[in-house]
A and B are shown apart, each in its own frame.
Chain A
Amino acid sequence: MARYIVGRLIQSAVLLVLVTIIVFGLIHAAPGGPSAVMADTKLPAAQIARMRANLGLNEPIPIQYLKWVEALSKGDFGLSYTDNRPVLSEIRQRFPNTLILAGTSFVLSLIVSIPLGIYSANRARSAADNIVSAISFVGLAIPVFWFGIVLIIIFSVKLHWLPSSGMYTTNQGSTFPDLLKHLIMPAIVLATPTIAQFTRFVRASMLEVMSQDYVRTARAKGLAESRVTYLHVLRNALVPIITIVGLSLPIVVAGAAVTESVFGWPGMGRLAVDAAFTRDYPVVMGITVLVAAFVILINLVTDLAYMLVDPRVRLK
């Protein structure tokens, strides 16, 4: 078991190094490299010269890469092109907002999808199951930004129930009820694709467990159907849910970038989009490397958690 953990740790470290190489490589694969991008932005020549020196753009590429990684490991993600502030402090400022939004929508996804998945697995191939599966198909196909706009049309424009953008009402301080009102629509929008995905996953997982011998045994010895479902099937069917946390992260990240832009939510996703728009690539690079590191970490944690929960994995 210790060997597995160590192996998995090394694997994660290798992945992280590869990620930095890919991101660095992408930037330098651009015609002319980063300096071409800088020449394209409307910065004064003196500033470009200073940045070239700061970035060490006159040195060989491998040396540049090593210096960049060394700086990264010290938490130095460079300076933003647009306002010259340290990239890391910009990210740190936006991160809690994204965490609130993504966290809420993640909890919402679980609360909706687990009961829905159980319900449709219990009635597999019935009309109700078909409806749930049709809805989850729509949920996977719906463009996040459009769904956001539709909700704004209904709840802000027509009904005047909810605010259409921002995190707090301006000039009104930062109160929790106010935050909640601003949070409802973006959280629902961001949760939609994951609800669809999780529901399909829970349903499939339930159905797989239901076909196991021990479930038939439980039924054969006369246990009530609800007891079989909730005590015997559900416990095992929910174990694979751990995996999906890691698997759904990329969807959540893409969704957050778009959702935050639609609703003017001051989070990391919107920062990345704005930065891509102004070609502020130190910010885009910084967010990309950090999020990738986060994804690798979550996948490592979920793998280890899986091992603790499911002894069969340990034996392999």
Chain B
Amino acid sequence: MAETTLATKARSSKRDAQSPFRVFTHRLVRYRPGFYSLIILVILYILAFIGPFFIRYSPNELDLTNMLAGPSIHHLLGTDENGRDVFARLLYGGRVSLIVGLIAVVISDTIGVLLGAVSGYFGKATDLIVMRFTDALLAIPGFLLLLVVLSLFSPSLTKIELAIGLTSWMTIARLVRGEFLRFKDSDFVLASKSIGASDWRIMFRHILPQSVSPVIVASSILVGVAIILESSLSYLGLGIQPPQASWGNMLTGAQNYVFSEPMLAIYPGLLILITVAAFNYFGEGLRTALNVAE
């Protein structure tokens, strides 16, 4: 991958302050909103994945004698309508949102890169077919496409990751196709061809590393979009099913208690907002660091 080659380069020329990897990290740190966002994201992931080992409540443990309790030493953020610890549920719910975003984007990237590469590199009929298919999927608003898919299956974590991944690869495909069109007639491709490199080798060993930057930037933004999609679906009851907690479905329950316990509805949404904004700002940071045009 590009990172490893850049990293070896950085090591081999320690005195050279201008090595690409140094320039990248320097720029990434210098864009403050992006850098702070990265720190916030690291903290959120640590809290969601390691935090639950340090709290004594399970997220689904009912305590019917202690419903809708306010914050206390026992329950840091109080309890919900079933007497479940809100803090514990926020941590476990975070696991769902944070993991769904990443996995959905890995799926999107895989499909998008493959189709975009094939389309841009081979051109002609292949390009025409793949791109018309992409355009048609883009014409169907993604959320409706998700509703169609989810009306066919009973939802589960894996199915939601798949559904979001399978319905949001189109922008990546277009991006990669554009990059491949740009590079496919360049000298280094001609050189590889002349020494008999196979098409696949040229595509994935030579052209793809050149076009990886815009994909990384777009992916960071896509993670945020995927998290919003998952939480919206879970809120509507079409995503993660209770009792399993997700930031989205915690709001469904909380909505019935906005009159007495409005804070129950505030926490999960605020966490979604912070996470998504952080991914967007981090994406902007990557954009400046990798020098990708908007």
Give residues in A with beta carbon < 8 Å to B.
14-15, 18-19, 21-23, 26-27, 30, 37, 134, 137-138, 140-147, 149-150, 152-153, 157, 204, 249-250, 253-254, 257-258, 261, 272-273, 275-277, 279-281, 284-285, 287-288, 291-292, 295-296, 299
Contact = CB atoms under 8 A, between A and B. Distances in A.
Contacts of B232: 143-145, 254, 258
A27 to B, nearest CB: 7
B200 to A, nearest CB: 28
A272 B281 contact: no
A43 to B, nearest CB: 15
B283 to A, nearest CB: 10
Contacts of A285: 148
22 contacts: A14-B132, A134-B33, A138-B273, A140-B277, A143-B269, A145-B235, A145-B236, A145-B251, A145-B269, A146-B251, A153-B258, A250-B142, A257-B143, A273-B238, A275-B147, A277-B151, A291-B141, A292-B139, A292-B141, A292-B144, A295-B140, A295-B141
A250 B139 CA distance: 8
Contacts of B229: 254
B277 A138 contact: yes
Interface stretch (B12-20, B49-57, B83-91, B259-267): B259-267
A152 B143 CA distance: 24
A15 B132 contact: yes
A266 B235 CA distance: 18
A9 to B, nearest CB: 15
Interface in B268-283: 268-270, 272-273, 276-277, 280-281
Contacts of A299: 139
Given A22-B136, A137-B277, A257-B144, 4 more contacts: A142-B273, A204-B294, A281-B151, A295-B140
Nearest to A37: B152
B108 interface: no
B140 A149 contact: no
A279 B237 CA distance: 13
B148 A26 contact: yes
Nearest to A23: B148
Contact of A149 (B135, B138, B269): B269
A140 B222 CA distance: 12
Nearest to B133: A18
Contact of A287 (B144, B150, B254, B270): B144
A280 to B, nearest CB: 7
B237 A18 contact: no
B103 to A, nearest CB: 19
Contact of A152 (B149, B258, B280): B258
Interface in B25-70: 33
Contacts of B148: 23, 26-27, 276, 281, 284-285, 288
Contacts of A275: 147, 151
Contacts of B153: 30
Contact of B143 (A14, A19, A254): A254
Nearest to B270: A146
B140 A291 contact: yes
Closest 4 CB pairs of A and B: A146-B269, A254-B143, A18-B136, A141-B277
| Listed residue (B138, B141, B231, B270) with the most chain A CB atoms within 10 angstroms of its CB | B141
Contact of A296 (B33, B139, B237, B266): B139
A119 to B, nearest CB: 20
Contact of B231 (A143, A204, A253): A143
Interface in B112-160: 132-133, 135-145, 147-153
A89 B175 CA distance: 40
Given A23-B148, A273-B236, A146 B136 contact: no
Nearest to B134: A18
